[in-house]
Structure 1
Amino acid sequence: MTATGVIDDVVPWRHDLVGCLWTSAATILRWHGVPELETLGAAWGFRHIPTDLRREEYYYPTPPGVSLYEGLAPYHPVRSVWHEPADAAQGWEQVRAQVAAGVPIVVAADNFYLPFRPAYQDVHTNHLVIVYGYDDNAGTVRVLDAVPPRFDGDIRLDELAAARDSQNPILHNRDMFFTNQPIGNRWLEIHVDTDAFPPFDRDTVFDTIRRNLHGFRSAGDGYVGLTGQRAYLADVAERFEDEADIRDELFLVAGAVLANTALHADWLVLAASAADEPALAVLGRSVQRIAHHWTAVRIMSALTSTGEMSADRLRRRFSALCDDQARVLAELSDVVSGKF
């Protein structure tokens, strides 16, 4: 291995309504030469597994045995493997070997130790960044983080090591949502079978929408589909009325659904051209409205601990969200069945 190396064509990608999981995934997909929005925006659904809720900015619910990237892109040949090194030294050895081989790597990190994050030396939180270069002589690593304020440059290796090895503790009342979950020097190995990607045409678009509609009609472990979504939100409101602390849980759940919904809204606009079906672009804007419902839910979740929120206000927002979503799903069903 040489003492220095920077991988070419690692390009940042950003969407206003998604977090580090999707920005890093999109960058990796683009580096592999596959379309990021067509891949990450195709699937749309609701799944919440209460026993599998993790305090991570990159939390995303997946069925048992399904990897994180398979959950993000279940209709495409993409998968991932979490690696959990024994310690910081092994963690860097593994990541450096991957980068030296020409592969950019997504690593978990605590923003408290990353000098380019607004939370630096202030707030602990579980985040993802991309490592795609190093300079052993200078003791630096090249890091990309597309989440604002975007950073693409070198930091000291000891800073990255501290961020990756952090226990991510709760020390004060600003350590919310993504804390109390050790980082553990974890990194993601990502597999993309570029030769097996489906075409983006009318048949694929309509098949994708039908699969999503089937998912919203389905049931399963935890809360699944539109019925599960209604049941989960009703349960949250009831627990809040009984004075349960729902803030962090609802913030995490809503964040995952918000990103999924926002990307699918943009996917529908792309799909309208690919399928020569203008109605899909109109429905894309309707799905965008659903995403903004989830934005409101996320804000309301943060207010549940301040005394500024009531169970009735939550119920009204939840009802408006689910009713709007039911209408959009019915209209999508009409399009793919030729009734629109």
Structure 2
Amino acid sequence: MRVELPGIRHWRHDLTGCLHVAMAVLLQHRGLNPVEVLGAAWSFDHRPERLRREEYYFPGGEDDLLAALAPYHPLTSRWHSPADATAGWLEVRDAVAAGQPVAVSADNYHLPFRPAFGDVHTNHLITVYGFDDELDIALVIDSVPPRYRGPLPLPALAAARDSGNPVVHDRDLFFTGQPIGNRWLEAEVTGEIPAFDRDFVRLAIERNAAALHAAEPAGRYAGLAGQERFLLDIAGELAEGSTGAIDETFVVAGPALAVAGLHAEWLAHAGRVLGEPRLLESARLVERVAHHWSAVRIIAGAARPDPAAAAGSMRSRTRELVADHVRALESTRRAVGTTALAR
């Protein structure tokens, strides 16, 4: 039997990673615009005890990853954790045969089309959209450069999905030590998708502002105050010579970077659709925040040899990031005719 689902297309935003890429492929298959759906929310909410060493980690997405990514849309997702590799493939095969592409966790070490093949272990996310039983292949798509779409031998996919994702040498950083576990994810649309109009754009911006300015809950880093406190706490640990929080910083900064970058794209798209140039100006300010998060990742990634030397850079970058975040947030609110919130 051979199945190849239609409507599978590459999608890529330069500041996002495999998480947004895989979700975009699933959304496009359902006729949705990934930018309009995945770019609407802009928040920060980190609970250290829930951190997972995965390239597709997203704060708040432990139970429903897609709902956390797109909180303003009727979407849901569910992780499946099969008993073993055989059960894992049969579950994925059944879902695809029923017309549903799915995202699967995989170790890049075992994927021939990834640059890390045979070299570096890491916890990645790709999409399965078909299979051929006679040829013993799955059809997969991965738009993270160098992008690939096409056949993957089932033994290679099984090895990637069943990997323990071990830390073997000093190149196995950030997304290792978390077994892959043959996990796969299905997504579902549960209601009517809202129109991408002025009312929706205003509502999303208002909700983003409310969440970012809300009082910080106990036991977590949330909102504008929380992200500033998180980064300053990291700087404090680095100043003491500790490397313990470097991986956490790199992992947390990834979704923060992606969310800001995609929200900037969402604002620019809204500005063009609505004919509102002020949203285009806001988009540039939000993109600036995204690039601050890119710098945070670079600082963390380079901090291991001399963490104390990185502390000053982390503190100064934090000041700039927070100031630009406030400026961008106020700009988006002004663009839709609302009163700016004071910091």
Kindly provide the amino acid, as one letter, of the partner of residue 289 in structure 2: I
Query: In structure 2, what is the equivalent of residue 293 of structure 1?
Result: 292
8 A contact 2:282–2:335 mirrored in 1? no
Following superposition, the deviation at residue 333 of structure 1 comes to 2.8
Alpha-carbon spacing, 1:338–1:186, altered in 2? closer, same or farther (3 Å): closer
Alignment of 1:30-179 (within 5 A): 30-62=28-60, 66-179=63-176
Answer yes or no: is 1:310 the counterpart of 2:307: no
Following superposition, the deviation at residue 212 of structure 1 comes to 0.3
Alignment of 1:11-30 (within 5 A): 11-30=9-28
Kindly provide the amino acid, as one letter, of the partner of residue 233 in structure 2: D
8 A contact 2:289–2:321 mirrored in 1? yes
8 A contact 2:241–2:306 mirrored in 1? no
Query: In structure 1, what is the equivalent of residue 264 of structure 2?
Result: 265
Counterpart CA distance in 2 for 1:273 and 1:338 is 20
Kindly provide the amino acid, as one letter, of the partner of residue 17 in structure 2: G
Deviations 1:31-79 (A, max 9, x none): 0001110000000011111111100000000177x51000000000111
Alpha-carbon spacing, 1:165–1:63, altered in 2? closer, same or farther (3 Å): closer
Kindly provide the amino acid, as one letter, of the partner of residue 334 in structure 1: R
Deviations 1:211-245 (A, max 9, x none): 00001111224011001111111111011112221
Q: Which runs of 5+ in 1 are unaligned?
A: none
Name the SS for the 2:335 alignment partner: helix
Name the SS for the 2:171 alignment partner: coil
Query: In structure 2, what is the equivalent of residue 283 of structure 1?
Result: 282
Kindly provide the amino acid, as one letter, of the partner of residue 217 in structure 1: H
Deviations 1:89-110 (A, max 9, x none): 0000100111111211110000
Query: In structure 2, what is the equivalent of residue 192 of structure 1?
Result: 189
Kindly provide the amino acid, as one letter, of the partner of residue 103 in structure 1: Q
Kindly provide the amino acid, as one letter, of the partner of residue 300 in structure 1: I
Kindly provide the amino acid, as one letter, of the partner of residue 77 in structure 1: P
Following superposition, the deviation at residue 339 of structure 1 comes to 6.0
Query: In structure 2, what is the equivalent of residue 256 of structure 1?
Result: 255
Query: In structure 1, what is the equivalent of residue 207 of structure 2?
Result: 211
Comparing 308-317 with 132-141, greater Cα deviation is found at: 308-317
Counterpart CA distance in 2 for 1:154 and 1:338 is 51
Identity %: 47
Counterpart CA distance in 2 for 1:335 and 1:131 is 40
Kindly provide the amino acid, as one letter, of the partner of residue 69 in structure 2: L
Name the SS for the 1:196 alignment partner: coil
Following superposition, the deviation at residue 334 of structure 1 comes to 2.7
Runs of 4+ in 1 over 4 A off after TM superposition: none
8 A contact 1:82–1:186 mirrored in 2? yes
Comparing 322-331 with 232-241, greater Cα deviation is found at: 322-331
When normalised by structure 1's length, the TM-score is 0.96
Deviations 1:245-275 (A, max 9, x none): 1221111011010000000001001111334
Following superposition, the deviation at residue 329 of structure 1 comes to 1.6
Following superposition, the deviation at residue 327 of structure 1 comes to 1.4
Instruction: Give the superposed CA RMSD.
Output: 1.4
Following superposition, the deviation at residue 315 of structure 1 comes to 0.3
